[in-house]
Structure 1
Amino acid sequence: MFGKANKEPKRQAVGEDLAQVLPDDGLPWYKKRHLLVLNYFAVSMALLSAANGFDGSMMNGLQALPQWHTFMNNPTGAWLGFINVAQTISSVLSYPVIAWFANRYGRKPGLFIGYFFLVLGVFLQAFSPNPAAFILGRFFLGQPSSWWGGNAPLLITELAFPTHRAFLTALCQCGWYVGSLVAAWATYGTRNYDGSWAWRIPSILQIAIPCVVLPAACLIPESPRFLVSVGRVSEARKSLTRLHAGGDESSALVEFEMVEMERAIQADSDHQASTSWMDLIRTPGNRRRAFITVTIGIYAQWNGVGVVSYYLALVLQTVGITSVTDQTLISGCLQIWNLIFAVGAAAMVDRLGRRFLWLASSIGMLASFILISGLSGSFATTHTASVGIAVVPFLFIYYAFYDIAFTPLTIAYPAEIWPYHLRSRGLALCGISTYIAVSFNIFVNPIALEAIGWKYYVVFAVILVFVVLTIYFFYPETKGHTLEEMAVVFDGEDAPVTGRQELKIVGDRVTDSQHAEKV
């Protein structure tokens, strides 16, 4: 009825049922104007995470600049940790509000609240007359990170074309490295400037990538799933018809998606009139989702990456690399490396599967971090320059393994495993757990690095053992399911939506329509 061509790659991405109603015209997506527009929107939303990546890399670079240390009165230890963590505290405080706002007013309006705080924070930070103003600016800059982090992934995953959803949602965190790349090379380029402009220029540039994204933020439509949830079904159908079917109002794909969305959202409404945070742990399936979501947020930061991302300069100093030029150059090259591996892994999400990437990432990080700890300890004992330098390539190897799962899947995996009515809260839960872990890292890491140096790395090697075990026993494979069909993975085969029911309904409607035309 819907075509018998070989659709194995599509079945891998979305499952057999949805694959049967996908267009089979032989044209690649980049030759279809409506998919080019849709993917432009999605990639632009992914780039909003660049603001957060810019901040982490910029603060890393600023700590290598004597000009910034002079302006900030040479912060160390707990005070340095507080300066870094101010942005994170702001993000944690806003996530509960963002989850409520996204369900009440939609996914799109929150993007513009993020832009407001971005302008305010960048202005305060870049033109701060004293350290207090700089810290206040960092506090405001925590708001766009959370407003965009809580809304942009929802827009992507709920609006993307089915076979592109996993890749595009996985790009959300890859945008982090676009921002970190710009920040790393900006601080490298200004390292020799006299006075405060050495750090003020990178601070100003934090607004650059979001400005490029602004046209897409204005033009992107609202999530069709949100529109269905508030009764605006005709608008949802119109949006999907334009962006998924190129204006074809008889599209079987759009019919399938609409039936699936309406049935799933109606099923949610029938079970409960309103949602609360307690719903995240009310059923066995949701408790498993919540456990996965919280551990992702924690493990994404408590695996050693927090030491490298915010305190690379201190890490390099422990192995004898003290030159400002060398430190900023290594940071810049590391961001290019990260971006390549993160995007490459995002492209493999549907081919290799989420579970394979999670396990490969965690096992690889464990092995490389053990080697980093050993080499750092050896340098601390022998002070042999070659041993210290040998740490650098293993930092790159460690990050390559981090990038193949913890960059693309930290947002994409939680965004797809939660049902619609809890998706915004589930994503907020991931954000809260992530930022709490980040806050702990940022505050504690500089103290621990100053106190025990390379021995602190052993702590993360031990944590990585628990990461591997948790992923192996609790993280299921989700490849080959639509967002609505994901309920089967966590709630069992008796879950209200399984796909085949929708396929039959769509087939009956198409048959009825064809019969009517003949009559």
Structure 2
Amino acid sequence: MKRSATGTWIPAWVPESTTTLAGLLMVCSVVNSCTNGYDGSMLNGLNILPSYQDFFNLNEVTTGLNTASVFIGGCLGPLVAGLIADRLGRRPAIFWGAVITLIGVLLQTAANGIAMFVVARVLLGFGVALSGIAGSVYLSETFPSRWRAWGVGLLNDFYYVGALIAAGITLGTGQWQSNWAWRAPSLVQGVFSLLCILILPFIPESPRWLVHEGFYEEARIVVAQTNSNGNVSHPVAMTVYKEIIDTLEWEKSDGKTMSPREIFRTPIARKRLLIGMSAGPFSCVAGNIIASYYLGAELTTAGVVEPNDQLKANVVLNVWCLACCLVGTHLTARMGRKPTALISQMLLVICLYIIGGLSKMYSDDPGGASTSLIYGDVAVMFLFQGFYSIAWTPLLFIYPPEVMNYSIRANGVAMSQLGLNTLALLLVFVMPIGINNIGWKMYIINASWDIIVAVLIALFWVETKDRTLEEIDALFEGQKHSSVPDVERVRKGEETINIDEVAKQLDTSGKAVKVL
């Protein structure tokens, strides 16, 4: 471990081994992800528990309010998350997000009424949004391009690990005859934020943020730590560092600023924003909200009505989704982001139409419904969640920061999360009302707008696989803003760089090393 300057108040003792550091970065990604997944599955379980429903005396409207209130905080968090991540640094933003989440968890556990529960969940949603936005930007800027899909994909993949833990805990506490049947699962939620805080001193600050703030030598060390075991003269580390320096210098010379207005200032910025932020809303309207928050109601429409059977289904569902999203992350790394999204989206459409049809058959004659009809409907529901997990679980955090350049990245990712949480706030609130009133027709409506999403992906998304964040600029700007070859070509030995020449260019560029 080597003490590394971070340009912020949070110190860092960072391993020089690239593999070890990648492992620590993945742990940071995992614990951030678990908080969000735990919340969704926990509420799924709580909405099934009679003790939770009886304590708050819930009806359809208050059930939707208690569940959806986390997205109020999820809408407020993105309004400031980009500014905080840009001004304070990526790691401090993650830290404050985790602290706010912990406060929300404690208040939620101690809630004595709907008002306190809702306020707690607003705080929780704010903290999760802040740490999630800062985390996705941080990890995309820190992981080398060859590992970025896996490193950033895990930021949402382990949603299902948190969900599985919550499902198991609520299954166990569901047998308790006290309010701790729902308070205990709520309290455990804070463990992941605590782990996130503990891991931060052992990972470096984003090299892109350090360069932008003028900490050039510190950024060069971080690039070497994440690419070449701390060797600052390694060809790959030199290429990555030169790309960052050249591209950020070009952005400054082109008049790009860190203001939120920058995301709307030019046609190219608007294009990058719209394509990048689309992942949030697209993933939200895909149809997973029904199973993510109202699995009990969904299973009831299929004929599985016993609370204990529904809780068991919640556990199995999360194991299945975890396996699928890990497969999906592999596909995004090997096949690419756009093909994975398109294949998954069309499979979702097919599943939703089948679920709608089978649910209608059950609703027409519940008493005469066969066991095979019930099991078939549940099986397709599980397939749907698996297909969703293949693409949208990893892509939700991989794609937006890749598409956006540095000046708009933090605020653009925040806009993506704002779009997701705004839609989720609406859909989570209305889903129980819609399922209760129109039942199977909700699936048909959802399938129809998923077709529109697939068309938009096919027409407008761009492929970002195997490119550094700086090399993706060429897809939008028409040219790369650095003279060095592409990093992956250097890594594979397909092209070489003159190390002495690049070092000379860096040393004579007029950038003074900022002393901390």
TM-score relative to the length of structure 1: 0.88
Superposed counterparts of 1:109-508, under 5 Å: 109-272=92-255, 274-383=257-366, 384-386=369-371, 387-492=373-478, 494-497=479-482, 499-500=484-485, 507-508=497-498
Partner residue in 2 for 1:58: 42
Distance in 1 (CA, whole Å) between partners of 2:486 and 2:335 is 28
Instruction: Encode CA deviations 1:334-366: one digit per residue, 9 max, x unaligned.
Output: 011111110121122221111110111101101
Partner residue in 1 for 2:27: 43
The one-letter code matched in structure 2 to 1:219 is F
Q: Choose the corresponding residue for 2:55, options 46, 64, 71.
A: 71
Instruction: Encode CA deviations 1:217-256: one digit per residue, 9 max, x unaligned.
Output: 2321110110000100011112222332223232111111
The one-letter code matched in structure 1 to 2:465 is K
The one-letter code matched in structure 2 to 1:188 is L
Partner residue in 2 for 1:22: none
Partner residue in 2 for 1:14: none
Per-residue deviation at 1:112?
1.7
Q: Identity, % of aligned pairs?
A: 29
Distance in 2 (CA, whole Å) between partners of 1:251 and 1:235 is 16
Instruction: Please state whether the residue corresponding to 1:450 is helix, strand or coil.
Output: helix
Partner residue in 2 for 1:81: 64
CA contact (8 A) 1:54 1:183 kept: yes
Instruction: Encode CA deviations 1:101-154: one digit per residue, 9 max, x unaligned.
Output: 111111010122122212211111112222322222111111221111111112
Instruction: Encode CA deviations 1:357-396: one digit per residue, 9 max, x unaligned.
Output: 0111101101111110110011111220422332111011
Distance in 1 (CA, whole Å) between partners of 2:428 and 2:328 is 27
Root-mean-square deviation (Å): 2.1
Per-residue deviation at 1:497?
4.1
The one-letter code matched in structure 2 to 1:510 is D
The one-letter code matched in structure 2 to 1:283 is T
Partner residue in 1 for 2:11: none
Distance in 2 (CA, whole Å) between partners of 1:385 and 1:75 is 30
Per-residue deviation at 1:280?
2.1
Distance in 2 (CA, whole Å) between partners of 1:448 and 1:513 is 63
Distance in 2 (CA, whole Å) between partners of 1:344 and 1:505 is 32
Instruction: Encode CA deviations 1:259-281: one digit per residue, 9 max, x unaligned.
Output: 10011111111111523333323
Distance in 1 (CA, whole Å) between partners of 2:260 and 2:99 is 28
Distance in 1 (CA, whole Å) between partners of 2:443 and 2:224 is 52
Distance in 2 (CA, whole Å) between partners of 1:211 and 1:91 is 20
Q: Choose the corresponding residue for 1:509, options 499, 503, 508.
A: 499
Per-residue deviation at 1:506?
8.0
The one-letter code matched in structure 1 to 2:149 is A
Would the alpha carbon gap of residues 361 and 501 (structure 1) be closer, same or farther in structure 2, given more than 3 Å must change? closer
Distance in 1 (CA, whole Å) between partners of 2:103 and 2:260 is 31
Would the alpha carbon gap of residues 491 and 137 (structure 1) be closer, same or farther in structure 2, given more than 3 Å must change? same
Partner residue in 1 for 2:89: 106
Q: Which runs of 5+ in 2 are unaligned?
A: 1-15, 505-516
Instruction: Encode CA deviations 1:31-73: one digit per residue, 9 max, x unaligned.
Output: x943122322233223302111111111111010000001111
Distance in 1 (CA, whole Å) between partners of 2:329 and 2:92 is 27
TM-score relative to the length of structure 2: 0.89
Of the structure 1 ranges 382-391 and 426-435, higher mean CA displacement relative to structure 2 is found in 382-391
Instruction: Please state whether the residue corresponding to 1:448 is helix, strand or coil.
Output: helix
Q: Choose the corresponding residue for 1:96, options 79, 82, 99.
A: 79
